[in-house]
Every structure is written in structure tokens, then in C-alpha cells.
């Protein structure tokens, strides 16, 4: 006999699928983190731009990998952004009440004022 849908076997249990708790993204603790240093030579040359970083945040809220996902076009600014974010603290990602490791994208903007 062919079946057209899920079959419930009382010995196995119901066919209810448990959904995992929602995932809360990791986020920088901006008020606690130092702003990136704007390199003097970049200021003198008028360099500006936004660096997009790919950051692996641990369950403890530390950045363990910081890579440039998209350069601002000026290596010196890319490196200044990476250096700063490596030292940042983050609110770790959470699945329910459990902290989990997560990759996040962090934009760092350099703008002369």
C-alpha cells in the first residue's frame, strides 16, 4: 500500500519536528571598544572609505579571525581596521541561552572631518 504523506507510528513517536531556538547574532560592544586609529599618512593623503571585515567571534565574545571581506581601496586603512577589531569585545551569538561561535560582517568607516 502506498502512502501519500507522513505516517505516525505510535512506537516511534509523532512526526513533529522540533525547531531550534532562534539565533541571536554576535554584536560589537561599541561603547567598550576603541575606535580604529586613523593612520596619519592616510589623513595626509586624504584617504577615506569603508572596510568590510569578516570576523569570527568566539562564545566568549573575542574576535579570533579578522579578515577583509571588502577593501576600502587603501591597504593602510584596511590594516588599521583589522588591528582595531582584533582587540574588540563582542556580545557573543546565542542560540537560546547557549553562547555559540559565529561569523559576522563588521563595517569600519574612515571619514575625514
What's the pLDDT tens digit per position in 18-34? 787 888 999 999 889 99
Q: Over pLDDT 70: what percentage of the chain?
A: 87
Instruction: Please give the CATH architecture assigned to the domain spanning 23-110.
Output: 2-Layer Sandwich (3.30)
Q: Could you tell me the pTM of the whole model?
A: 0.79
Question: What gap in Å lies between CA 60 and CA 101, rounded to an integer?
Answer: 8
User: Residue 46: helix, strand or coil by DSSP?
Assistant: coil
Say if residue 64's pLDDT is above 80: yes
Question: What gap in Å lies between CA 92 and CA 74, rounded to an integer?
Answer: 30
Amino acid at each position: 500500500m502506498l502512502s501519500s504523506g507522513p505516517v505516525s507510528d505510535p512506537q516511534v513517536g509523532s512526526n513533529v519536528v522540533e525547531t531550534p531556538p532562534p539565533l541571536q547574532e554576535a554584536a560589537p560592544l561599541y561603547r567598550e571598544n576603541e575606535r580604529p586609529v586613523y593612520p596619519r599618512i592616510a589623513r595626509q593623503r586624504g584617504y577615506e572609505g569603508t572596510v568590510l571585515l569578516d570576523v569570527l567571534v568566539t562564545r566568549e565574545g573575542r574576535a579570533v579571525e579578522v579578515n577583509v571581506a571588502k577593501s576600502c581601496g587603501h591597504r593602510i586603512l584596511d590594516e588599521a581596521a583589522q588591528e582595531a577589531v582584533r582587540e574588540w569585545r563582542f556580545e557573543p551569538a546565542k542560540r537560546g541561552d547557549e553562547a555559540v561561535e559565529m561569523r559576522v560582517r563588521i563595517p569600519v568607516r574612515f571619514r575625514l572631518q
